[in-house]
Chain A
Amino acid sequence: MMRRRTLLASSLLALAPSSALAFGEEGAFHARLLGPLSGKRMSDESLKLLGSAMSRWSFELMERTSAPVRIATTVVSPESKELFDEPFIIWTGAEDPGTLSRLAARRLSEFFRLGGFMLVDDQAPETGAFRLGVERELEKVALPSPRIKLPPDHVLFKSFYLIPRPVGRVMGPSAVEASLGVAGSGVLFLRHDLLGALARRGDTWASPLEPDDPEQREYAIRFAINIAMYILCTDYKDDQVHAPYLMRRRTRSGPTRPR
């Protein structure tokens, strides 16, 4: 039996790129792509690969978790008000991203103030050109907090799967840096080309992995799912630790009357 949300997602896929949404899908996880900055252009091939990666991400999330997803790829200009339609955006590339206009910087600052979350995914971490360019441009933006290196016990590594380290197309550094604020806002800086590990070309994976560990792609998918669940649930898994404590505290100081 096809599940309701699969059915809805499939129908959405068929409707894409229409913006019409079905009941229950408005709040669904949706990986949106931050459009190229002024003066830059994204090739059709690149867009197609990124679209396939984001679709795969959504598909895996849908298959493995309860979270509803929207598979249709959306590209959002940093200068447009559509940036505020949803709380998640991905900024990815392999080269220097160019320059954020003052309007775009203002919009991004507002995006974070509202509680938005951005994933910065470097497709070519070996060169670092994109990462350095993004870091330069984000200087113009009011980020939620100073950048920090996330500890291994951070909720990002246990939001769904228990994973020891970030993994993407490349193994990259064993830690990730992030700027995390209140109300779920944040920026996650990846140097692992996560979307590269998820991109498809036809029926096969688009990019080989480095090193080509047989389980690396599975761990990349798990990491992507953890990121999605972190965006959807924020620090919920930390609550799980707190909940029994709260209950014990309630029972301890609780009423004397018989229940």
Chain B
Amino acid sequence: MTIFGQQFSSDLGGTWAALVALLVLGTFVLLGAEGRRRGRVPWAHIVTGALGALALALAVLRPSLVRQGVQSAPARVVVLVDASERMNLPATGSSRRADVQDRALEDLARVFPSARLEVLAYGDHANLEELEVARKGPPQIGNELGPALEKIPRGESGPPGAIVVLTDGRVSRGSSFGRAEDYVAAWPEVPIHSVRVADEPLRDRSIASVRMPDVVVAHEPFHVDLDVRCSGGVPCQAGPFQVRELLQGAPPIELYQGRVEPDPKDASMLKASFDITLDRSGPRIVEIALASDASDVVKDNDRRLLPVGVRRDRLRIMYVAGRATYDVRALRTFLKSDRSIDLVGFMILRTALDDVMAPPSELALIPFPVDELFSEHLPSFDAVVLQDIDAEEYGIRVHFSGLRDYVLRGGGLVLVGGPESFGAGGYAEGGLARVLPVQIPTGKKSFDLKPFVPRYTRVGREAPMLGALREMLGERLPEMAGANLVGAAAPSAYVLWEHPGLGPAGSSEKSGMPLLTLGDFGDGRSVALAVDATHKLRFGPEGALSGGRAHGALWEGILGWLMRDPRYEAARIYAPWPCISGRPFRIEVQPLPGVTEQVTMQVSELSATERAVGAIREGETRDGSLVSFVIPGPKPGGYASTVRFSSGPASRFVFACEAGGDAWADTRPDPGALKALSSASGGVSVAPSEIDRLPEPSGTKVITERTESPVLPDAAWAGAACFFLALHWIVRRRDGYL
């Protein structure tokens, strides 16, 4: 209903009106003073003078009549709903906190029948969102209430009549709520009510925090501080925990086992401090898990899966060569020339059949410590290079299963060709095949003697690891005097160089035998190089063309790829938000410039069984520079996604999915914080069952209609002023004042 009212107005401001009134008043005073001086009251003078001054003032002020209609609008109430992952924690019984929020929203509509509710969700994103959009979108770990209050839009009718917050009071990642007055500052005149979606702490023991570096150095121990919180009356007693590194295609590595002990300063906390070491470089997933407790309501937060970037200050390489050749000389010289490499090299300088014509005391030879190297010390190496060495004769074959596990657990392996390598060296049997990128035939003929020039495959031309070599020599490669006979590439492998005149062993093809082949196996990688004369890239026509740098370029690429150097990956892969189990997780792939092939992705669990997980290709930008994949609802665990480009270069992205993640590190609600907030703002804090206590704000008055008309035309006021002033002049003249 519209209510109308009238009032006078002037188009001049109040200051001018006051000034005019003063002048009129002054005129009256002057007229009065004149009459007193003359000894009698000149009423005619006073009346005409006053009327003249008044008419002149009205001519200046031009008064008008204003008529306006006022309507009462429903109060605007902004409801801020915490949309963080915390709301998936239990509230009471089997209800989640988000369920309590939903019921409270329904109740608010009932309790505030006349109000206009504006429901906005907040989390750790930059903007307030619609609740449905926020709940279906990326998971939000944080719940930044302070910034959310500041971001409430002002609205056309001014500030909201009230703000209602639906949360449990625990702000982002368990940090303290802070001063309630700071929250109120954004809307000092507006009451902030709160509906506490959880009041009582859960019976829960959780990993409250893990303090450790995001990036560590391989082989170097680093320190970890573990804090465990007990809440809801759960016994806070010392208990065991274990730390493991999750691997692809292999059982986890046990990194540490220990016990959390009571914190003497805080009876609700348990603590542990320990050192662990990661040996494999690249992105790794570390799992920290408390022993299970049957009384624990939230078991998911007893386990954390933490991504750790492992870099190396130095690369540790075991290099074993079966014979001393120029190829060995070139490779060893390259490895030695790199100051970032710790090289532990062994060369077989003498075979059992050699007649050295001297007693051992006159020889500078030591026994090849094969057992010590391949058992005790193997895990400490980043990569193993086996060049032209007979595995059978030198006792390496008995360590094939250990070498296979070493690769599956993240190690690098390079098998370099030669008369004693591949099939001739006994590598076809003994369990190493699972981690070799090519099949090795078991036939009598193990190498071919026809000279040839290797050729690049299509994949080889696009592989970033050969980019520097191709920049120096283009398609040109040195002539080889022969090659080891190998079979087809493994399914997960890809071939960069191939034989132009020989097909894979065992096939009827006339060309295409893999010569330089790369493969991902479990957490590690391996390279098979079925030729033995890459030294010609240093010494030889091709070496001379590149100033000897081509050999280094090739091997830098091979070792760099083996060690997952980002420069040699075919794509940059990243996730725009953290992975929370049950929520869609997106992975974005940005191929390197020049890589134009079709992108596919395979995702598998980091476990011995490597269970595959579905990834849906969501789309790509028009120019193919960014391709997105979505995993609809992963379970908690570590995952490895392998991105492949058609038949070609593969890159890997490792990630961990947690239930709740940091948002579940502290399950305790903070009702006191919400009560303080509401109290400071003049609002009311209620439990969901008390929501009827919330006062509905009164409606807002809104002017819906306004008309303005002058009391008299401007000319009438001016004419009246002229008339009275002229009359005043005549009266004064009549009385002889002029």
Q: Mark A residues whose CB is within 8 Å of B.
A: 3-5, 8, 20-29, 63-68, 81, 84-87, 110, 113-116, 158-162, 182-184, 218, 222, 229, 231-237, 239-240, 243, 246-247, 250-251, 253-259
Q: Are the C-beta atoms of B483 and A232 separated by less than 8 Å?
A: no
Alpha-carbon separation in the docked complex, A66 to B348 (Å): 7
Other-chain residue from B344, B362, B538, B544 in contact with A110 (beta carbon distance below 8 A): B544
Residues of B within 8 A of A254 (CB): 219, 277, 380
B324 lies within 8 A of chain A by Cβ: yes
Contacts of B547 in A (CB 8 A): 113-114
Does chain A have a CB within 8 A of B370?
A: no
24 pairs from A and B in contact (CB 8 Å cutoff): A3-B351, A3-B353, A20-B451, A23-B448, A23-B482, A27-B532, A63-B355, A64-B357, A66-B322, A84-B543, A84-B544, A85-B539, A114-B543, A161-B363, A218-B357, A233-B324, A234-B329, A237-B364, A243-B344, A250-B316, A253-B220, A255-B255, A256-B221, A256-B275
* A23–B326 touching, CB < 8 Å: no
Inter-chain contacts of B344 with A (CB < 8 A)? 239, 243, 246-247
- Residue pairs across A and B with CB atoms within 8 Å: the count is 200
- Residues of chain A within 8 A (CB-CB) of B232 are none
Complex partner residue of B548 from A22, A115, A162, A250, CB under 8 angstroms: A115
Taking the nearest CB of chain A, how far is it from the CB of B441, in angstroms? 16
Is B447 part of the binding interface, using a Cβ–Cβ cutoff of 8 Å?
Answer: yes
- Judged by a CB distance under 8 angstroms, whether B666 is at the interface is no
**Distance between Cα atoms of A86 and B363 in the complex (Å):** 28
Given A67-B323, A115-B539, A256-B275: A24 in contact with B419 (beta carbons within 8 A)? yes
Chain A residues positioned under 8 Å from B357 (CB to CB):
64, 218
As a 0/1 sequence over residues 524 to 546 of chain B, the CB contacts with chain A under 8 angstroms (1 = contact) are: 00000000110110111101100
Q: Which of B536-576 contact A (CB under 8 A)?
A: 536, 538-541, 543-544, 547-548
Given A87-B539, A161-B358, verify A27-B325 contact (CB < 8 Å): yes
Flag B327-350 by CB within 8 Å of A: 1 or 0 each: 111101100110000111111111
Residues of B contacting A20 in the complex (Cβ-Cβ under 8 angstroms): 451, 481
Contact partner of A182 (CB less than 8 A), chosen from B255, B337, B541, is B337
User: Do residues B540 and A85 form an inter-chain contact, with CB atoms below 8 A?
Assistant: yes
Contact A258 B365 (CB under 8 A): no
B156 shortest CB reach to chain A, Å: 64
* Known contacts A64-B355, A159-B364, A229-B324; A256 and B347 CB within 8 A of each other: no
The residues of B that contact A21 with a CB separation of less than 8 Å are 451, 481
Q: Does B276 contact A (CB under 8 A)?
A: yes
Interface presence of B40 (CB below 8 A): no
A residues within 8 A CB of B451? 20-21
Q: How far is the CA of A110 from the CA of B545 in the complex (A)?
A: 11
| In the complex, chain A residues whose CB is within 8 Å of the CB of B361 | 162
Known: A160-B349, A258-B254. 12 other contacts (CB 8 A): A23-B483, A27-B535, A29-B324, A64-B357, A66-B350, A67-B349, A110-B544, A233-B347, A236-B332, A243-B345, A247-B344, A254-B219
Question: Which residues of the other chain, B, contact A23 by a CB distance below 8 angstroms?
Answer: 418-419, 447-449, 480-483, 532
